């Protein structure tokens, strides 16, 4: 905006900075310092206990020839590419179903949200049991109901990621809640008007629900990507990155380097590469958003 700003625009700008001032202050105090520290570490040999030694871009050079770096990137991308779209689709469908006039609505919502609420080691250990190829209920049910011999799940290089994807679907309650909140904001008049015009359910879904939900969908898409790239606890507790590196998630590899291999510098370099990847992806999605995201508040931006 090269034009000179009038007094109204200046006032709006002032209020903008006023409103976001809590975040700016918090950022400067709590966030910026540590982030720049980690950038600094990425150029050092740092074992956490003794002070960092500057080594320039050695860590970054090492990264590109490290087979475990590529492996962890592959593992994480595979997981993300499948779990994010699947999770969004599933939670959206269920949210729409739940948004009907259904009896026991509050109960259903609570049931779906329950898995997200239970946290900690108990859940991971629970799922280890469920996925056990010889004694777990999943293979037991697969055999009893469908006569399928289930795979070795967490003990199989091919099936460990699908297993973790299935586990992630158990926790879609969070997204369901967000979509429900979004669906609340769609004015019923729109649906009524469409019905008068003869639209069926599918049309209504495509032309009203999706566009009106698109800002929220953008949110869950971006957060889905960011979160799926930072999966850590499941791998740490359930598989330790195995078998044979098949579940070596990127952040697990970072953690190992930071706290188990005394290589915080290398871990920091790994983190910054991850950051760059996610930044590029997010920027691309945002760039594309005018094509498919519809804001009620669109004005000249």
In the region spanning residues 149 to 178, those forming contacts with other proteins, defined by CB under 8 A, are 152, 155-157, 170, 174, 177-178
Cα–Cα distance measured from residue 72 to residue 249, given in angstroms and rounded to the nearest whole number: 5
Q: Which of 128, 164, 165, 273 binds other proteins (CB under 8 A)?
A: 128
Please state the closest distance from residue 245 (CB atom) to other proteins, in A.
Answer: 5
Cα–Cα distance measured from residue 257 to residue 270, given in angstroms and rounded to the nearest whole number: 9
Please state the closest distance from residue 70 (CB atom) to other proteins, in A.
Answer: 14
Share in percent of the chain as helix, strand, coil (round to 5): 70, 0, 25
Residue 194 touches other proteins, criterion: CB under 8 A? no
Between 55 and 82, CB nearer to other proteins: 55
Residue pair 273/63 in contact by the 8 Å Cβ criterion: yes
Please state the closest distance from residue 110 (CB atom) to other proteins, in A.
Answer: 5
Residue 88 touches other proteins, criterion: CB under 8 A? no
Tokens found for residue 29? 């105090």
Residue 118 touches other proteins, criterion: CB under 8 A? yes
Applying CB under 8 A, the site for other proteins has a residue count of 132
Q: Which of 64, 122, 145, 202 binds other proteins (CB under 8 A)?
A: 122
Residue 99 touches other proteins, criterion: CB under 8 A? yes
For tokens 């034009």, name the residue: 3
Residue 228 touches other proteins, criterion: CB under 8 A? no
Cα–Cα distance measured from residue 54 to residue 108, given in angstroms and rounded to the nearest whole number: 56
Nearest Cα to 217, choosing from 300, 285, 131?
285
Residue 129 touches other proteins, criterion: CB under 8 A? yes
Cα–Cα distance measured from residue 56 to residue 58, given in angstroms and rounded to the nearest whole number: 6
Please state the closest distance from residue 82 (CB atom) to other proteins, in A.
Answer: 19
Distance spanning both ends of the chain, measured CA to CA? 10
Residue 218 touches other proteins, criterion: CB under 8 A? yes
| Span from 72-80, 81-89, 142-150, 218-226 in contact with other proteins (CB under 8 A) | 218-226
Cα–Cα distance measured from residue 230 to residue 251, given in angstroms and rounded to the nearest whole number: 6
Residue 197 touches other proteins, criterion: CB under 8 A? no
């Amino acid at each position: 905006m090269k034009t000179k700003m009038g007094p109204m625009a200046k006032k709006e700008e002032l209020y903008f900075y006023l409103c976001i001032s809590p975040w700016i202050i918090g950022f400067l105090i709590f966030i910026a310092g540590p982030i720049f520290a980690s950038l600094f570490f990425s150029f050092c040999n740092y074992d956490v206990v003794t002070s960092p030694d500057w080594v320039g871009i050695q860590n970054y050079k090492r990264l590109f020839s490290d087979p475990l770096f590529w492996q962890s990137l592959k593992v994480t991308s595979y997981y993300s590419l499948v779990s994010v779209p699947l999770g969004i689709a599933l939670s959206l469908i269920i949210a729409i179903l739940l948004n009907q006039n259904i009896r026991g609505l509050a109960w259903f919502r609570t049931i779906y949200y329950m898995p997200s609420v239970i946290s900690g080691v108990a859940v991971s250990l629970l799922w280890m049991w469920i996925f056990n190829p010889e004694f777990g209920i999943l293979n037991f049910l697969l055999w009893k109901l469908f006569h399928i011999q289930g795979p070795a799940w967490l003990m199989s290089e091919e099936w460990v990621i699908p297993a973790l994807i299935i586990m992630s679907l158990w926790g879609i309650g969070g997204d369901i809640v967000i979509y429900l909140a979004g669906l609340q904001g769609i004015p019923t008049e729109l649906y009524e008007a469409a019905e008068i015009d003869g639209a069926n359910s599918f049309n209504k879904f495509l032309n009203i629900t999706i566009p009106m939900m698109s800002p929220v969908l953008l949110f869950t898409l971006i957060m889905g990507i960011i979160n799926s790239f930072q999966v850590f606890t499941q791998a740490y507790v359930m598989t330790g990155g195995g078998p044979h590196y098949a579940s070596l998630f990127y952040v697990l590899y970072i953690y190992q380097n930071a706290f188990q291999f005394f290589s915080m510098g290398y871990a920091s370099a790994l983190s910054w590469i991850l950051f760059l990847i996610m930044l590029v992806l997010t920027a691309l999605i945002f760039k594309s958003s005018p094509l498919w995201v519809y804001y009620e508040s669109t004005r000249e931006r």
